[in-house]
Amino acid sequence: MTTTTATSGSSASNRRDAALVALRAQTIELPSWAFGNSGTRFKVFSTPGVPRDPYEKISDAAQVHRFTGAAPRVSLHIPWDLVDDFGKLAAHAADEGVAIGAINSNVFQDDDYRLGSLCNPDPRVRAKAVRHHLDCLDVMRQTGSRDLKVWLADGLNYPGQDDLRARQDRLAEGLRQIYAELDPGMRLLLEYKFFEPAFYATDVPDWGTSLLHCLALGPQAEVVLDTGHHAPGTNIEFVVAQLLRAGRLGAFDFNSRFYADDDLIVGAADPFQLFRIMNEIVRADALRPDSGVNFMLDQCHNIEPKIPGQIRSVTNVQEATAKALLVDREALAAAQAAGDVLGANGVLMDAYNTDVRPLLVELREAQGLPADPYAAYAGSGYAERIAADRVGGHQAGWGA
């Protein structure tokens, strides 16, 4: 393996400088539901100091931004984060130094949705699901959000249960009605998931289905890639490259999976995969905040403390990004053009194997941030304060 490319020559220091600039501009959006209690169907463990309402979720998210400087937005989930006055919630976010990001719809928790939402055979239920999304657009107008994120639990448990093709037609029609109500500058982001809660067939199972619907809708519709929503062994960076080529990668839901949709801390299960994903992002110059890719987390912290879990997630994304930024693109292109299989692989691995933690310390110190956000939060006394002040926090979803 070559060991010279990532660290030698003046171009190595240029790459380092360019990496610092790019990392400074990078932002990662946090999910409000990461701060509530969550668990499995077996048990939801409660955490002392867990938020009692959406205001407190935002305050906790603001702590992650305070110590990392890289997480200035919070995604909301409707109705989990329903409040009387979203303008007031947005003002609270601004007071805390953050903004409200994507609005996630929820058409999976009412009894009406037993057979699906936008794909449901009953037109009354389909109309209700469309209406919920229009309500979400109203929330976005009050919060100043750009992105409506749509994940549907629609699907079938048994072959023959419903008509696969008719469900796609209903889906296209429902999405069309929602899309028609977007304001200029708003986006509809359609997430896919290959299984769960439906076990036989999911109505938006993969990036191809999501992309086809987005292409039919128009330029304000883009795909959300949740890293946990693929079959084991899927080459996710290929999907990233393909969606970027099509100009339709709207956002990530970052997390880690071992077996299913585990929603664990991003970069915990497979930091190399996260590096390969970020490598495709850097390769396509899609890291820039104006590139249109919203880097969001979609995670739950069932047994670990939530704010430190989010801090670790942000720093994991930063580490993978820093490594991707250090790839010697010229050396890589030369090795690839020469058909130098091991040389090209070596260039990539040199970057992956670089310890970027000192670079990130430099990044943080230059911004007046703590060198170690995790330790700084632990020493801040915030966790002890909320544990003493807040009594009766809720489960992530149904507590708001």
Q: Which residues here bind ligand AOS, judged by CB under 6 A? A: 33, 77, 104, 151, 191, 193, 226, 253, 261, 298
Continuous segment of H or E residues that includes residue 186? none
Q: Does 147 bind Zn ion (CB under 5 A)?
A: no
Measured CA to CA in angstroms, residue 296 lies from 102, 266, 343 at distances of 9, 10, 34
Q: Which of 81, 147, 154, 226 binds Zn ion (CB under 5 A)?
A: 226
E-strand spans in the chain?
A: 29-31, 73-77, 99-104, 147-150, 155-156, 187-191, 201-202, 221-226, 249-254, 294-297
Contacts of 210 (CB under 8 A, 6+ apart): 190, 191, 192, 204, 223, 224
Query: 225 vs 369, which CB is nearer to ligand AOS?
Result: 225
The item of Zn ion, ligand AOS, none sharing an interface with residue 377, based on CB under 5 to 8 Å by kind, is none
Q: How far is the CB of 230 from ligand AOS (least distance, A)?
A: 12
Q: Which of 253, 280, 328, 350 binds Zn ion (CB under 5 A)?
A: 253
Query: 54 vs 69, which CB is nearer to ligand AOS?
Result: 54
Q: In terms of Cα–Cα distance, which of 346, 324, 326, 323 is closest to 335? A: 346
Query: 106 vs 279, which CB is nearer to ligand AOS?
Result: 106
Q: Which residues pair with 201 in a beta bridge?
A: 156
Q: How far is the CB of 202 from Zn ion (least distance, A)?
A: 12
Contacts of 97 (CB under 8 A, 6+ apart): 62, 65, 66, 72
Q: How far is the CB of 228 from ligand AOS (least distance, A)?
A: 7
Query: 38 vs 321, which CB is nearer to ligand AOS?
Result: 38
Cα gap 79→252, rounded to integer Å: 22
Q: How far is the CB of 214 from Zn ion (least distance, A)?
A: 16
Window contacting Zn ion (CB under 5 A); options: 235-243, 252-260, 353-361, 370-378: 252-260
Cα gap 352→133, rounded to integer Å: 41
E-strand spans in 23-94?
A: 29-31, 73-77
The item of Zn ion, ligand AOS, none sharing an interface with residue 147, based on CB under 5 to 8 Å by kind, is none
Window contacting Zn ion (CB under 5 A); options: 48-56, 100-108, 222-230, 316-324: 222-230
Query: 203 vs 226, which CB is nearer to ligand AOS?
Result: 226
CB 154 within 8 A of CB 119: yes
Q: Which residue has the tokens 């696969």?
A: 164
Q: In terms of Cα–Cα distance, which of 366, 399, 394 is closest to 24? A: 366
Q: How far is the CB of 61 from ligand AOS (least distance, A)?
A: 15
Q: Which residues pair with 74 in a beta bridge?
A: 30, 100
Q: Which of 298, 319, 328, 350 binds Zn ion (CB under 5 A)?
A: 298
Q: Which residue has the tokens 């290959």?
A: 194
Residue nearest to Zn ion according to CB distances in the complex: 253
Q: How far is the CB of 335 from Zn ion (least distance, A)?
A: 36
Question: Beta 201-202 vs 221-226: how paired, if at all?
Answer: unpaired
Subset of residues 78 to 117 that bind Zn ion, contact rule: CB under 5 A: none
Cα gap 360→362, rounded to integer Å: 5
The item of ligand AOS, Zn ion, none sharing an interface with residue 33, based on CB under 5 to 8 Å by kind, is ligand AOS
Question: Two tokens at 81?
Answer: 């984060």
Query: 261 vs 280, which CB is nearer to Zn ion?
Result: 261
Q: Does 261 bind Zn ion (CB under 5 A)?
A: yes
Query: 230 vs 312, which CB is nearer to ligand AOS?
Result: 230
Query: 60 vs 261, which CB is nearer to ligand AOS?
Result: 261
Residue nearest to ligand AOS according to CB distances in the complex: 151
**If you count DSSP H runs as helices and E runs as strands, how many of each does the chain have, helices first?**
14, 10
Contacting residues toward Zn ion, per CB under 5 A: 226, 253, 261, 298
